[in-house]
Chain A
Amino acid sequence: MGKLRNEFLTDKEIIFMGYSSRNPQFSGLVYKAFTKAGYKVYPINPKAGGKFDVKVYNSLGELPKIPSTAYVLMNNSNAREAVKQLKDGGVKKILFHIGKTADKALLDECAAAGIETAVACPMMIFGSGLHKLHAFFAGVK
């Protein structure tokens, strides 16, 4: 696992695993930040049922294509399941939102599967103000 660098997100398409219905504000914030930066975002939530303001897919299988990069905003046990799906889908890079999401075992599992990982809030790259301050202290460039 390396620190998040801008180069990590070179592919302009990204899967957003765990687009939340319980906290749509934060998910929406990240979604907007990605799209504003020119990324095509594919949000996924298995409970997607038309209650979202954006198009949310139920699973990777519903996507028109599977991008090589994914962002995971989930708790640890759900993230473990998500990583399995992403691995099977051929994803090459995974950005985990926080360290609690991705423990060492999960990161090792990704490394063994040849998946490059980083742990950081994407707002540190795309946000401004306090997000940039957060990025500075977290060493995100």
Chain B
Amino acid sequence: MTNTYPLLRVRWSNEHIMAVLFAVLLLYMLPVWVGKPGDILAFLAVLVFSLLLDAISGFMRYKKPVCSVSAAVTAGILQVLTPGIPLWGRLIGVFAAIIIGKQLWGGTGKNTMNPAILGYLVICIMFPTAAASLETSALLIPALVLSLPFILFRPFAVLGYFAGIIAAFLTGSITDLLPITASCVFLGSIVLTDPVTVTPLRSVGLAGGFAAAFLPLYTANPALFFALAVLAFNLVSYLADEYFSKPHEKPNFSGLALKSPYKDVDYGSEAADLSINEKTCAGEAVSKGASEFTRECTPEFTPDIILERIKRNGVYGMGGGAFPTAVKINDVMSSDAEKRYLIVNAVECDPGLVHDKWILNNRNKDIIKGIELISRCIGFRKKCIAVKDNTEIEFSDNIEVFRVKKFYPAGYEKALIRRVLGIDVPDGSIPSKLGILVLNVQTVLSVYEAVYLDMAVDSKYITVSDITKGTARTVRVKLGERVSDIIERIQPGSQLIFTGGGVMQAHMADDGELIGKSTNLITVSPLPRFKESPFCSNCGSCKANCPKGLAVNRIAELTDLGKFDEIERYRPEKCIKCGLCSYVCLAGRNLSAKVSEAREKVLYKEKVLL
């Protein structure tokens, strides 16, 4: 199986976020430092100790240098939480945090309990008077404001925490909220939002956050019991995530707006045609746009002739599925559905593809003819063409133009049906069997060429681009031609050549790789920066951005461990291979390759692919 991945990636990583968090922690220290500049040196000592301890432990574990920015954050949290504690006491706290709270569990991202809070607990035991209260100061305002975005990592735990504080105020255990506001914001938005140790589950997060805020206030030593409550909450989070989180959920995700990697795309000029060496009658017609040519040699097409030509000339799904179009049309014709629909998919949501838009702009009339041909076989209740909302296009009155917002993966068949028709196609059902025919715009063009021109489908339009320069163009290529030959003719001397269904699911082109039915892109690009960091912060971004709501990080973890029997309950076979999980992963892991591997294993086991 070829390892595919998106050529584009988010710029943020776990290390970036930790660095920002550390900067915010420095702002929390500002009021103390203004009053007592000597504390800066004390903090530097704690920081250096923490970094060295973590770096040495990390090197011993991974046998190579690893980033220790999380240790800096741990030192920062302890510094803010324990003002007035002697340096040696804080150093012991840091030692407990790094060694017992983190490294003993397996290192960054693998700890069950918040290391900083464990260190804080040790300090609270050593110094019973230690209290997590920040002085009220105008200098804290920037830190407080910049803390708020972190709430997004674990909003329910923070909501629960704030609710607990308000409940404590209403029940009289807190008399004045103002002096503790800074402490509450710090503890809520910095401590309780650690994605590694706090669950994203709504009910557990709300209850845990509430308990961590409310219960300690009824004890003799609120600081000590706050630390205990948070650690207990961490433990409950771990158990809840491990045993109570659903293996897959109904997705609550519509898509992600992805920026095109190109600055210069020419949709107007003629596409380079590398598919014809000799100008045949049909070939000449295609290069001209064919409208004039076909008028003279158009026979009266009956549904039987149309289907026969579609089948004989091998028309297939050009969007990437490569499913035989004749079978799809037959399925719709023989469907029991009362109403039949046609959706021409010209959304082209992959940010690296440009050829469908070129086809819309330049082969418009031929597409209309293709739609008319298909309509002779099936009486559609509704015919529409789905395009991106910034596409300016006009079609005949009986073809509705449906504009879809520019997000990825807007062109995913079932999502498109839901948007255009408001029909939910269940998992495992095939739209054509329900009377819904979804065809890629180039497939419709192929129908036209196969029927009107009686041309075999042995070529296709693809995008040939250079991501490093930001240029892209549409090229017609012959199926079975070598990828390297095409790039050599369009862009000689290129080294890093990628190909695939789109920029979100590409792979490096093999030396002898040929243009296949599902090839849509050839591009020159730098290698994507997948660093395969072992530090998954459990941020949940992969799951939140999965169009099928899969527990991607869990599937990836089990794939790495080779536990394919356990993977089945997470339903990796539902993956649509959009590549978004790899795109958003803050640990820089190519998750989609791992899910694809799991998917193949499960499908093979179910003998779907055999």
The interface of chain A, by Cβ under 8 A from chain B, is 23-25, 28, 31-32, 35-36, 38-40, 50-55, 64
Kindly identify, within residues 556 to 596 of chain B, every residue whose CB is under 8 Å from any CB belonging to chain A.
Answer: 590, 593
| Inter-subunit contact B590/A53 (CB<8 Å) | yes
A25-B532, A52-B3, A53-B508 known, 15 other contacts, Cβ within 8 Å: A24-B530, A24-B532, A28-B527, A32-B526, A35-B495, A36-B495, A38-B495, A39-B495, A50-B1, A53-B530, A54-B508, A55-B509, A55-B510, A64-B511, A64-B512
User: For residue B532, which residues in chain A have a CB less than 8 angstroms away from its CB?
Assistant: 24-25
Q: How far is B510's CA from A55's CA once the two chains are assembled, in angstroms?
A: 6
Q: How far is B588's CA from A25's CA once the two chains are assembled, in angstroms?
A: 11
The 7 A-B pairs with the shortest beta carbon distances in the complex, nearest first, are A35-B495, A50-B3, A64-B511, A54-B508, A50-B1, A55-B508, A55-B510
The 15 sampled A-B contact pairs (Cβ below 8 Å) are A23-B64, A24-B532, A25-B531, A28-B527, A31-B527, A32-B527, A52-B3, A53-B5, A53-B530, A53-B590, A54-B527, A55-B508, A55-B511, A64-B511, A64-B512
Q: How far is B528's CA from A119's CA once the two chains are assembled, in angstroms?
A: 29
Q: Mark B1-23, 1 if CB is under 8 A from A, else 0.
A: 11101000000000000000000
Residue on A with the closest CB to B496? A35
B588 CB, min distance to chain A CBs, angstroms? 10
B187 CB, min distance to chain A CBs, angstroms? 36
Q: How far is B513's CA from A64's CA once the two chains are assembled, in angstroms?
A: 12
A94 CB, min distance to chain B CBs, angstroms? 22
User: For residue A32, which residues in chain B have a CB less than 8 angstroms away from its CB?
Assistant: 526-527
The interface of chain B, by Cβ under 8 A from chain A, is 1-3, 5, 64, 495-496, 508-512, 526-528, 530-532, 590, 593
Q: How far is B531's CA from A24's CA once the two chains are assembled, in angstroms?
A: 8
A51 CB, min distance to chain B CBs, angstroms? 6
User: For residue B509, which residues in chain A have a CB less than 8 angstroms away from its CB?
Assistant: 55
User: For residue B593, which residues in chain A have a CB less than 8 angstroms away from its CB?
Assistant: 51
Known contacts A53-B530, A54-B527; A40/B495 CB under 8 A: yes
User: For residue A53, which residues in chain B have a CB less than 8 angstroms away from its CB?
Assistant: 3, 5, 508, 527-528, 530, 590
User: For residue A55, which residues in chain B have a CB less than 8 angstroms away from its CB?
Assistant: 508-511
User: For residue B527, which residues in chain A have a CB less than 8 angstroms away from its CB?
Assistant: 28, 31-32, 53-54
Known contacts A24-B532, A32-B527; A50/B2 CB under 8 A: yes
Question: In the complex, which of the residues A24, A38, A55 has the most CB atoms of chain B within 10 Å of its own CB atom?
Answer: A55
User: For residue B526, which residues in chain A have a CB less than 8 angstroms away from its CB?
Assistant: 32
User: For residue A40, which residues in chain B have a CB less than 8 angstroms away from its CB?
Assistant: 495
B483 CB, min distance to chain A CBs, angstroms? 12
User: For residue A38, which residues in chain B have a CB less than 8 angstroms away from its CB?
Assistant: 495
Q: How far is B590's CA from A39's CA once the two chains are assembled, in angstroms?
A: 26
Residue on A with the closest CB to B2? A50
Q: How far is B493's CA from A40's CA once the two chains are assembled, in angstroms?
A: 10
Residue on A with the closest CB to B588? A25
Q: How far is B214's CA from A124's CA once the two chains are assembled, in angstroms?
A: 59
Q: How far is B512's CA from A35's CA once the two chains are assembled, in angstroms?
A: 18
User: For residue A23, which residues in chain B have a CB less than 8 angstroms away from its CB?
Assistant: 64
Q: How far is B528's CA from A28's CA once the two chains are assembled, in angstroms?
A: 10
